Amino acid sequence: MIRNARPADLDAIAALHTRARATYYQGHIPEEAYAGEAELARTRESWTLAVARDATEGGVLCAEEYGELTGVAAYRTQDGETTLTQLHVDPVHWRRGTGGALHAACVEVWRRAGIRRVRLEVYEHNLRAQAFYTAQGWLPDPAGTPSGSHRTLWLEIV
């Protein structure tokens, strides 16, 4: 089931986010940048702000299976540009369609809102995520300009 996130989900969202990030950051950046109590608190604070946003500014969707949070996606519209800021699936739930379901739900929200183009930045070493986004129709930034250690992708909403 895909649903809107609630404040009661914040601990589970932050923990899931931390587990997912560890899978692609491990070995590439120092562990304190993605793990530990301070980083977990910072992550929870960021998700708190995202969940509290007005619907016109973005949203957070959760995937839930048998009462367990299995994935989360967040998007934000600012200055007329919509960005998929986060899409994470708990690693123990990979390859079960959770990411695809979250992505499809985001696309439907964007379509209903009249959003025609969305951007995202994906970590350059996260090849699994890059393959996922490519399969969903995302294309590399035509300018080819990297954003630090991330690649920019665009999705046209039809």
| DSSP per-residue string spanning the chain | -EEE--GGGHHHHHHHHHHHHHHHHTTTS-GGGT-SHHHHHHHHHHHHHHHHS-TTTEEEEEEEETTEEEEEEEEEEETTEEEEEEEEE-GGGTTSSHHHHHHHHHHHHHHHHT--EEEEEEETT-HHHHHHHHHTT-EE-TT---BTTEEEEEEE--
Quick one: pLDDT at residue 44?
A: 86
Quick one: pLDDT at residue 125?
A: 83
Residue 43 makes CB contacts below 8 A (sequence gap 6+) with 14, 17, 18
| CATH number of the structural domain spanning residue 59 | 3.40.630.30
Q: Give just the sign of the alpha carbon dihedral 140, 82, 100, 121.
A: positive
Q: Give just the sign of the alpha carbon dihedral 101, 45, 154, 26.
A: negative
pTM exceeding the 0.75 threshold for the entire prediction = yes
Quick one: pLDDT at residue 21?
A: 81
Pairwise CA distance, residues 95 & 80, whole Å = 33
Kindly indicate the confidence band of residue 51, based on its pLDDT and cuts at 50, 70 and 90: very high
- 5 vs 124, more confident: 5
Domains contained in the chain, number: 1
Q: Which domain holds residue 18?
A: 2-156
- Tell me the per-residue pLDDT of 73-131, one tens digit each, with 9 for 90 and over: 999 999 999 999 999 999 999 889 999 999 999 999 999 999 999 999 998 888 889 99
Average per-residue pLDDT for the chain:
89
